[in-house]
């Protein structure tokens, strides 16, 4: 029988106002550095940050595999949101 807390935790986050604010602040910071850092450098820095956040999880309540699964699912969501945004912003243009 699976742990319902783990099941809930592994679902992609339903966006709360705090989530939206955090993401907007991160994007604002990315734009600030985008002139001086390559996309690869930014990706590497963010990957290190995610690694740090994973390391700071309470290992009594979350396994490394659960943390990675949360990251993977939410990466998919982020990719989908960008693709959807690009599609809607270029709709009708030649």
pTM of the predicted protein model: 0.73
E strands, 1-94, are none
The residue behind tokens 């690869």 is 40
Task: Confirm if 54 and 71 have CB atoms less than 8 A apart.
Answer: yes
* CA 31 – CA 17 distance, rounded (Å): 21
**pLDDT tens series, the chain, 94 aa:** 455 565 556 556 677 888 889 989 999 999 999 999 999 999 999 999 999 999 999 999 999 899 999 999 889 988 998 898 889 887 555 5
Instruction: Give the per-residue pLDDT at 85.
Output: 86
Task: Confirm if 88 and 27 have CB atoms less than 8 A apart.
Answer: no
Taking the domains of the chain in order of start, what are their residue ranges? 16-56, 59-94
Of 38, 5, 19, 18, nearest in space to 77 by CA: 19
């Amino acid at each position: 029988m699976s742990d319902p807390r783990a099941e809930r935790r592994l679902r992609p986050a339903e966006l709360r106002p705090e989530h939206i604010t955090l993401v907007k602040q991160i994007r604002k910071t990315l734009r600030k550095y985008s002139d001086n850092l390559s996309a690869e450098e930014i990706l590497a820095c963010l990957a290190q940050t995610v690694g740090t956040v994973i390391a700071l999880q309470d290992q009594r309540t979350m396994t490394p595999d659960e943390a990675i699964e949360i990251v993977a699912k939410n990466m998919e969501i982020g990719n989908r949101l960008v693709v959807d945004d690009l599609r809607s912003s270029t709709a009708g243009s030649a």
